[in-house]
Amino acid sequence: MIKSLMMDDSLMISGILRHAESIYPGQEIVTRLVAGEIHRYTYQQLGERTRKLANALLEAGINVGDTVTTIAWNTHRHLEAYYAVSGIGAVLHTLNPRLHPDQVSFILGEVKPKIVLVDTTFIPLIEANLEVFKSVEKVVVLATQQELPDLPAPPELDLLVYEEWIASYSVEYEWPVFDELAAAAMCYTSGTTGYPKGVVFSHRSTVLHAMGLGSANGPGVSENSCILPIVPMFHVCAWGVPYAALMAGSKLVLPGAGMDGKSLTELLVAEDVTLTLGVPTVLQGVIDYCRQKNINTPRLETAVLGGSAASIKLIKDTDEVLGAFLLHAWGMTELSPVGLANFLTNPELELSKEAQFLIQLKQGLPPFGIELQIWDESGKVLIGNPVERGRLMVRGPWVASSYFGISDSTSWEDGWFNTGDIAIRDEDGRYQLVDRAKDIIKSGGEWISSIDIENTASSSPLIVACAVVGVAHPKWGERPLMVVVPTDEQCSESKIKDYLEDKIAKWWMPDKIVFVESLPLTATAKVSKLTLRNQYSDVYQS
Amino acid sequence: MIKSLMMDDSLMISGILRHAESIYPGQEIVTRLVAGEIHRYTYQQLGERTRKLANALLEAGINVGDTVTTIAWNTHRHLEAYYAVSGIGAVLHTLNPRLHPDQVSFILGEVKPKIVLVDTTFIPLIEANLEVFKSVEKVVVLATQQELPDLPAPPELDLLVYEEWIASYSVEYEWPVFDELAAAAMCYTSGTTGYPKGVVFSHRSTVLHAMGLGSANGPGVSENSCILPIVPMFHVCAWGVPYAALMAGSKLVLPGAGMDGKSLTELLVAEDVTLTLGVPTVLQGVIDYCRQKNINTPRLETAVLGGSAASIKLIKDTDEVLGAFLLHAWGMTELSPVGLANFLTNPELELSKEAQFLIQLKQGLPPFGIELQIWDESGKVLIGNPVERGRLMVRGPWVASSYFGISDSTSWEDGWFNTGDIAIRDEDGRYQLVDRAKDIIKSGGEWISSIDIENTASSSPLIVACAVVGVAHPKWGERPLMVVVPTDEQCSESKIKDYLEDKIAKWWMPDKIVFVESLPLTATAKVSKLTLRNQYSDVYQS
């Protein structure tokens, strides 16, 4: 019996920082501060300041397994917190400030942070939840004394200023090595129903996920990349970019609070960004601004799109306005988050743009590390080529095994996580998400994909944005309702139906179309179909 | 105290095969059979046949931790053995057939394989070592009955034919999941002195190393790659390519026994190879053939060069003749093997070719996972920018922690592996290997780098190949001797010295230059400096 004889080095998040600092000391991190100015420093300076913060956290009594919560934009200081908190063995909890105050209060009650690091923007959120934050030992504002706003600080809170707090600590610190299965970070799923649910990442899962992101089949994160993560660092650790970028030695551009089209475009152009990542609404903001101002982004190669399905319009706009490839990806908080990414093969790169756009609508293939199955309702694995629609199940070393504090979740079956998505697998092997299981419409016993109708409709010049939801119907059980943000007043129900007529199955045609000024969004900037379903629950009941 | 809640899925080599088969079932593997013809099949067929082999191995009584030895070229059957043997929990041992019979006998005595899989080419090697192979339970020839040569099989051996052996077994098999630290494969370092030493890789180290190879900072192994590993699968698992390629879904081209310039070039052109990997002598064979026959390889992008340092001539030839980038890499069996790879940054890509070639002479940067230090003779870590020459020490999850069966090796100090290489780190952060510690020449208390002199000399049109070794000298301790394979009879000692005169330090000039028809090689096709030192040990003693 032969045993392996390899070093048993743990996969540590601090190992990423040590690698980055030692191999690419001069690589740049550019931040638009919340106060507006541009801040620049190097990986080496990141390393030094992160060790200062680690020493400050340790002296503040943060122990292994304690939680530190951040309520913060994408900045270098938030990045320092990412590495310092996990690096000393504590748990980084990134709070989504867009959550409802009840949800914030619920989460902080579960997480029980000892220290909260907060951007100036979110001080009012603390003031509005004073009762909850009173039990926190230290609230640290991520700013210099000069950057502080002229707000009267709530007297109940002993607000510390980050730059003054860490200033006196030593840059010397040896990152400890411990079990790679230790908790490193946690993030709550926004949860369209009920309370948010916590996912707790380990050092191992975080490092493996970052290696997966850095693969050449991924977005191609390398020393020659300049990456602008538009996705906030409070959304599933900005999709793992803060880890993958440093692992590969990429230049990193952090947009701070400036998430509008103008601010982001300025950074894209000025910093020669090659890769950006975000959700549809924010990417659309960049596209609209560039189109309006006739701005080119010649260095931008790839825009990774996740969070919601990409429409053909967005894929086309990304190509035509930004001159970039929209890399359609799919993930979930429970998947760290990356589950699928959609690339073109060499033969597909020879096809017409229009043919490519249609392929890009799919969500693609999983990286090594993610294992997928499609199950029917009874739990039977569906196989074949193509694979008919069913429940998308997933497992792998960066997939959650349960939610924090919930022992009886029904989301896991036989060791597989039920994504709650309905998917198919095409002849070309690609996965495509048909709908969220809870969003799919069941009409007269047959399934209608709300996403399919939305994708088709979004190509119409009549429509800025739209959503299709199933609404209870006395005869058919459910029928589709379409909610539309029209381009102008000329738009009408009959014009949209004319547009859709030859493009979707007859019985998929929404029975009604209603017009609104904007669609309701969730805390993670997705269209809130729950809100729409509630609002229009009785339109077919007459 | 918050604990992580992620799935504890093991990193398994069989997981790579399962991913490959399920995500890229139609991807192609092309083999030049040892008998000469081209064989093609898909990942799906690889998966099916590998499961047949697994069932055959299990029925033959192979248990967890048992060893199966291969003596084989790069073929699809060897690839099946890679995945089947490790997949069932046994240990794949790849024997280097170029080793001395004494070494073969020593290794097999240590490894004690139950089954040996052998290519027809190497049946004579078995016949010459019959005593050793008698204790093996099964010797299986990797061929069909038709492909068998007309050799009288040694009556002492019960030779099985691979294709007949596996034919009747089922394609159904569930790959077991077990501890990722279990032994998966082993390979012996050729060892220029003493007996070869065994390195035992784990599933974890193999998978992490493959993920490192697949990073965008690596050679860029992706679904769009077509990879021709020229490095034999009996050299450190072909540098991990059989794992990294399947992980990424790359097309794989396996050259069989055809390692000459003509055979390899035919495959490069016919299969649209984008990436190849090999040692200098074999790559030079391809270059010479392409130059002579005026053949272009337009799809080839990268040639990864390892095993020995690349000369400026080889870097230039790769650019000019093959139109490809020579990616200079460095590794060791003890490192699985990848330790360094040398890329150009965007600003460097703007430089002149000549300037780029000089940068390419260095060995580059480590991927995430490899940690390097340069130590002085007393074990003090040398830091600074640049870092002066010292001993290159390494650690990481795919670095060996000891040799098989040797408990008291001096190659490890304080948890670091001593590579035996002398290295510097330049202003640009790149590592460059100055010499093997045992090859460096110490003259009058000062160090002379044999590699530096060889690199300089190899650019001369007078020289086909050369090696510089240190030879005992009554006055200086050691002095350099240069051994040259000249281009023609016009070449002379004085002409070479004239060429070197302004290019190296005066006191580095070899005291003597001797001419030979060819340089002696080790079993891994490196120049054997040990042989040269022995042969010329007394040239300066007169």
CB < 8 Å to B401, chain A: 5-8
- Tell me which residue in B23, B395, B402 faces A366 most closely, judged by beta carbons: B23
Task: Let me know: does A299 contact A272? Beta carbons within 8 Å.
Answer: yes
Asked whether the predicted pLDDT for residue B217 surpasses 70, the reply is yes
Q: How far is A214 from chain B (nearest CA, A)?
A: 5
Task: Clarify whether A189 is annotated catalytic.
Answer: yes
Average pLDDT over residues B267-284: 95
Catalytic residue among A164, A353, A447, A497: A447
Cα dist from A297 to B55, B123, B226, whole Å: 56, 62, 31
Is the pLDDT at B370 greater than 60, yes or no? yes
How far A245 CA sits from the closest chain B CA (Å)?
11
pLDDT at B429: 94
SS3 A207: helix
A192 has pLDDT over 80: no
Tokens of B250: 């790359």
Are residues B52 and B169 in contact, defined by beta-carbon separation less than 8 angstroms?
A: yes
C-alpha to C-alpha distance for A29 and A15, rounded to whole angstroms:
18
CA gap A486, A489 in Å, rounded: 7
Cβ contact B249–A346 (<8 Å): no
Contacts of A200 in chain B (CB under 8 A): 2-6
Confidence of residue B101 (pLDDT cuts 50, 70, 90): confident
Please state the rounded mean pLDDT for residues A61-79: 97
Written as one string, the DSSP assignment of B121-174 is GGHHHHHHTHHHHTT-SEEEESS-TTTS-SPPPPTTS-EEEHHHHHHTS-S---
Q: Is A64 on the interface with B (CB under 8 A)?
A: yes
Summarize pLDDT for A291-307 with one digit per residue, the tens.
999 999 999 999 999 98
Residues of B in contact with A399 (CB under 8 A): 6-7, 9
Contact B219, A224 (CB under 8 A): no
Q: Does A400 touch chain B (CB under 8 A)?
A: yes
User: CA nearest B182 in A: which residue?
Assistant: A4
In the β-sheet with A338-341, what is the strand arrangement from edge to edge?
A: A38-42, A28-32, A251-254, A226-229, A275-278, A302-305, A325-331, A338-341
Instruction: Give chain B positions within 8 Å (CB) of A25.
Output: 429
Comparing C-alpha atoms, which of B360, B353, B361 is closest to residue B434? B361
Which among A2, A22, A183 has CB closest to B67?
A2
**Please, what is the angle between helix A76-87 and helix A13-23, to 10°?**
120
B299 touches chain A (CB under 8 A): no
B416 interfacial to chain A (CB closer than 8 Å): no
Q: Does B13 touch chain A (CB under 8 A)?
A: no
CB atoms A368 and B16 under 8 Å = yes
Confidence of residue A542 (pLDDT cuts 50, 70, 90): low
The per-residue DSSP string of B494-525 comes to HHHHHHHTTTS-GGGS-SEEEE-SS--B-TTS
Band the pLDDT of B521: cuts 50, 70, 90: confident
State residue B430's pLDDT score.
96
Looking at the predicted structure, is the pLDDT value of residue B418 above 80?
yes
Print the SS3 string covering A64-120: CCCEEEEECCECHHHHHHHHHHHHCCCEEEECCCCCCHHHHHHHHHHHCCCEEEECH
Split at pLDDT 50, 70, 90, the class of A129 is: confident
Q: What is d(CA A98, CA A116) in angstroms, rounded to the nearest whole number?
A: 16
A24 and chain B: CB distance < 8 Å anywhere?
yes
Nearest alpha carbon to residue A499 among A507, A489, A509: A509
Report the b/e string of A115-134 with b at 16+ CB within 10 A: bbbbbbbbbebbeeeeebbe
- The vertex-A209 CA angle with B7 and B344, nearest 5°, equals 160
pTM given for the model: 0.91
| Continuous segment of H or E residues that includes residue A53 | helix A43-59
Reading across the β-sheet that carries A91-94, which strands appear in turn?
Answer: A159-161, A138-141, A115-118, A67-71, A91-94, A183-189, A197-202
Asked if residue A209 lies in contact with residue A180, where contact means CB atoms within 8 angstroms, the answer is no
Residues 105-134 of A with CB under 8 A from B: 111
Point out the residue among A201, A216, A397 whose CB comes nearest to the CB of B216. Answer: A216
Identify residue B85 by its one-letter amino acid code: V
Check B147, B180, B334, B478 and give the catalytic one: B334
Closest residue on chain A to B2 (Cα) = A65
B206 carries an active-site annotation: no
| A438 among known catalytic residues | no
Which distant-in-sequence residues (6+ apart) come within 8 Å of B474 by Cβ?
B540, B541
Residue A191 pLDDT greater than 60, yes or no: no
Cβ contact (<8 Å) for A65 and B366?
Answer: no
Measure the CA–CA gap between B508 and B441, rounded to whole angstroms: 10
Helix/strand/coil (H/E/C) assignment for every residue in A440-456: CEEECCEEECHHHHHHH
| DSSP structure class, residue B343 | P
Q: Which residues of B422-441 are buried (b: 16+ CB within 10 A; e: fewer)?
A: bbbbeeebbbbbbbbeebbb
* A368–B19 CB contact, under 8 Å: yes
| Percent of all residues in chain A with a pLDDT value above 90, rounded to a whole number | 74
Is the per-residue pLDDT at A134 higher than 90?
no
Structure tokens at B240: 């991990």
B15: left (phi over 0), alpha (psi -120 to 50) or beta: alpha
Of the listed A297, A334, A454, A476, which one is catalytic?
A334
Q: Which of A1, A3, A6 to mutate to test the interface with B (most CBs of B within 10 A)?
A: A6
Residue A411: exposure state from Cβ atoms within 10 A (0-12, 13-18, ≥19): middle
How far is the C-alpha of A355 from the C-alpha of B153, rounded, in Å? 58
Quote the DSSP letter at residue B448.
E
Report yes or no: A16 at the B interface, CB cutoff 8 Å: yes
Arithmetic mean of pLDDT, A136-149: 92
Specify the pLDDT at position A153: 66
Contacts of A9 in chain B (CB under 8 A): 395-397, 399
Q: Check residue B371 and report its DSSP letter.
A: E
CB contacts of B247 in chain A (<8 Å) are: 215, 368
Is residue A376 less than 8 Å (CB to CB) from chain B? no
Residue of A nearest to B226 (CA): A346
Find the closest chain A residue to B1 by CA distance.
A65
Of A153-162, A318-327, A465-474, B188-197, give the range with the top mean pLDDT.
A318-327
Which of the two residues, A26 and A410, has the higher pLDDT score? A26
Query: Is there a contact between B343 and A223 if contact means CB atoms under 8 Å apart?
Result: yes
Q: Which residue has the tokens 């196989």?
A: A383
Q: Render B394-407 in DSSP notation, one character per residue.
A: EESTTSBSSBTTBS
Of A5, A66, A199, the CB nearest to B199: A5
- The ipTM of this complex is 0.91
Q: How far apart are CA A153 and CA A127, in angstroms?
A: 9
- Alpha-carbon span B214 to A492, nearest angstrom: 52
> Pairing relation of β-strands B226-229 and B275-278?
parallel
Does the pLDDT of residue B241 top 60, yes or no?
Answer: yes
Residue A344: closest C-alpha in chain B: B224
B215 to chain A: closest CA residue:
A215
Beta-bridge partners for A301: none
CB contact under 8 Å between A211 and B215, yes or no, is: yes
Considering CB atoms only, which of B5, B67, B91 is closest to A402?
A: B5
What does the mean pLDDT of chain B come to? 93
**Distance in angstroms between the alpha carbons of the first and the last residue of chain A:** 75
Residue B432 to chain A, least CA–CA distance (Å): 14
Instruction: State which residue of chain B sits closest to A22, comparing Cα positions.
Output: B429
B65 touches chain A (CB under 8 A): yes
* pLDDT higher than 80, residue B542: no
Query: What size, in residues, is chain B?
Result: 542
Candidates B6, B214, B396; nearest CB to A7: B396
pLDDT at B281: 87
Structure tokens at A57: 């956290």
Residues of chain A with Cβ-Cβ distance to B404 below 8 Å are: 2, 5
Joined tokens for residue A259 = 């998430």
B338: enclosing H helix or E strand = strand B338-341
Instruction: Please give, rounded to a whole number of angstroms, the shortest distance from the CA of B476 to a CA of chain A.
Output: 38
- Separation CA A143–CA A75 (nearest Å): 11
- Taking the C-alpha atoms of B253, B255, B256 and B261 in order, what is their torsion angle to the nearest 10 degrees? 180
- Alpha carbons A438 and A436: distance in angstroms, whole number: 5
Q: Which of A105, A100, A39, A43 is nearest to A69 (CA)?
A: A105
Q: Which of A2, A91, A346 sits opposite B65 (nearest CB)?
A: A2
Residue-wise pLDDT tens digits, B303-339: 999 988 898 999 999 999 999 999 999 999 999 999 9
Phi, psi angles (nearest 5°) of residue A343:
-105, 160
Residue B259 has pLDDT above 70, yes or no: yes
From A363's Cα to the closest Cα of chain B, the distance in A is 13
Whether B416 is catalytic is: no
Angle at CA B332, nearest 5°, toward B328 and B336?
Answer: 100
Q: Is the pLDDT of residue B361 over 80?
A: yes
Residue A189 in this model has a pLDDT that exceeds 70: yes
Q: Tell me which of A1, A4, A345, A408 to substitute to probe the interface with B (most B C-beta atoms closer than 10 Å).
A: A4
Write down the number of H helices and E strands in chain A.
Answer: 17, 25
Q: Report whether pLDDT(A57) > 80.
A: yes
Residue A182's alpha-carbon distances to A65, A79, A186, A203, in angstroms, are: 8, 20, 12, 6
Interchain contact B6–A (C-beta under 8 A): yes
Contacts of B179 by beta carbon, 8 Å cutoff, 6+ apart: B10
User: How many residue pairs from chains A and B have C-beta atoms closer than 8 A?
Assistant: 213
Instruction: Please report residues of B whose CB lies closer than 8 A to that of A4.
Output: 181-184, 200-205
| Distance separating alpha carbons of residues B214 and A127, to the nearest angstrom | 48
